[in-house]
Structure 1
Amino acid sequence: MPKLSLIIATYNDAIGLARCLDSIEQQTVRADCEVLVFDNASSDGTVELLKDRSDRLDYWESERDRGIYHAWNKAIARTSGDYVAFVGADDYYASPTALQQLLELTVGQPDLVSGRNAYYSAEGKFLRNWGYAWDWQRMRESMILSHPGLLMRRSLFDRIGLFDERFRICGDYDWLLRLPPDLKAVHTNQVILCLSMGGVSNTQVGRVFAETFRAQHRQPDLGLWRSGAYWLLNWLKYGRRKLIGLA
């Protein structure tokens, strides 16, 4: 199995982080993973939790950062894995074999390994399983990958660069848009992570679409008009999901 670097950025979510770390410890391929936690100087007991679990963490720190993409960029510099995955502090793996299912798909050394994630409301109600296979053209219209838990070859960051820290929410989408069309990717329809819809990308929808437009507009092949059309289309899709209770 290739080595996997799991990166968790967190802020004042000790309860969620404990559950997340528990689910990682239960993974059948735990021995093939390194775990790095970057805490934004939390004051809710997160530091005590990290100290208590320091023997099971490959690296952790608790200091002020400039946002999640700054934390992720710092983390990437410390990784030693063949693949990197970003996991939210309140996310947790759906089963003990979730990571094994992804790592088994790395046999052909793909650049990306994606799966589906289960999304829940802030109240714990199941909403949907979501996440599609990599498609360069469809990605230019909107985010179709479920980024949490996505395996990315570590060398991609050397080729493409790090996350743009000027983004607050959609820096991952901006980074994915920079990937080449001939990228080698594999996908499984298995559910990998369980996610809460209470995160910033789900509660600040207007800002998400504004940053999505900004990321698209930066792409030479999209430009102002196509990016604007996709912005409108994404709002219409969101309105439909809202209407049927999936957003």
Structure 2
Amino acid sequence: MKVSILTVVFNGVQTIRQCIESVKDQDYPLIEYIVIDGNSKDGTQAVVQSYGDKISRFISEPDAGIYDAMNKGIQLATGDIIGILNADDFYANRTVISEMVAAMSAGHFQGCYGDLEYVDSVDETVIKRKWISGSYKKGAFLNGWMPPHPTFFVKKEVYEQFGKFRLDLGSAADYELMLRFIHKAGIKIAYLPKVLVKMRIGGVSNSTLANRIAANRNDLKAWKTNNLTPRFYTLWLKPLRKIFQFI
């Protein structure tokens, strides 16, 4: 199966090279690599262009934010499976894609996810948190569960059938998409119980109480836009589950 990997970036000259290298070094032979840049002005474009034909498709133009850029990449992708790797992130080892494809092929799965490590923004060898996803059980979203989006791979046909990212949900757009695909549509997903992606610390959704309240509002909107009803504790369990990532 052909795999399309999408990287979206804006002024990411400090990290984009490591991201690209982690894709380039994968041992899986059928990878289409698409980079969508938001018209960076810091040298990002030069770094991407230095890889020549190692980048299958490169677009640099203004966009309406990260999820708009992701939607552009999904539209361009020609692979059977699509994965999204942000410019601040990198694959944990060179076998991530081959292991993911093997897992999906073994059970005719439509999606796959794994575990994620948060690393220091300066020294990526320093692990700050570890997100152990665990196997998916039907109804898990009601208990605040979700897989780490950077580890989430899904067949292109799923996007074609159930849609791409909504642009009106802020940082909850990836949560809404996985809620729609996994909880509502019930796609069949595989779990790889190993770290697939390393992410540099720097997210904003939980950095302050105000940000958490805003995130909760968008999480609730994610349920409502899908005509779904969370339990009274669902949206508070979601951030509380992150406590275990520090243990």
Please give the TM-score of this superposition, normalised by the length of structure 1.
0.87
Residue 89 of structure 2 is aligned with which of 91, 98, 110?
A: 91
Alignment of 1:125-144 (within 5 A): 125-130=126-131, 131-144=133-146
1:210 aligns with 2:178: no
1:105 to 103, 106, 113: 103
Q: Which moved more, 1:199-208 or 1:83-92?
A: 199-208
1:194 counterpart residue number:
198
C-alpha displacement at 1:212, in angstroms?
A: 1.3
Give me the whole-angstrom Cα distance separating, in 2, the residues matched to 1:114 and 1:164.
21
C-alpha separation in 1, matches of 2:239 and 2:99: 34
Q: Any unmatched runs of 5+ in structure 1?
A: none
Contact kept, 8 Å, 1:73 with 1:163, in 2: the verdict is yes
Report if aligned partners of 1:143, 1:173 keep a CA contact under 8 Å in 2. Answer: no
Counterparts of residues 1-247 of structure 1 (less than 5 Å): 2-29=1-28, 31-107=29-105, 108-122=107-121, 124=123, 125-130=126-131, 131-179=133-181, 180=184, 182-203=186-207, 204-222=211-229, 226=231, 228-234=232-238, 236-237=240-241, 241=243, 246=246
Give the TM-score of the pair, scaled to structure 2. Answer: 0.87
SS of residue paired to 1:69: helix
Cα distance change of structure 1 residues 116 and 233 upon mapping to structure 2, 3 Å threshold: closer
DSSP 3-state at the match of 1:222: coil
User: Structure 1 residue 127: deviation in Å?
Assistant: 2.5
Q: Report the 3-state secondary structure (helix = DSSP H, G, I; strand = E; otherwise coil) of the residue aligned with 1:88.
A: coil
Which consecutive unaligned segments of at least 5 residues does structure 2 have?
none
Aligned positions, number: 238
Say whether the 8 Å CA contact 1:8–1:86 is kept in structure 2: yes
The percent identity for this pair of structures is 24
Contact 1:132 1:146 in 2 (8 A): no
Residue identity in the other structure for 1:155: E
For 2:109, what is the secondary structure of its paired residue?
A: coil
Q: Is residue 110–residue 187 contact of structure 2 (8 Å, CA) maintained in 1? A: yes
AA partner of residue 175 (structure 2): Y
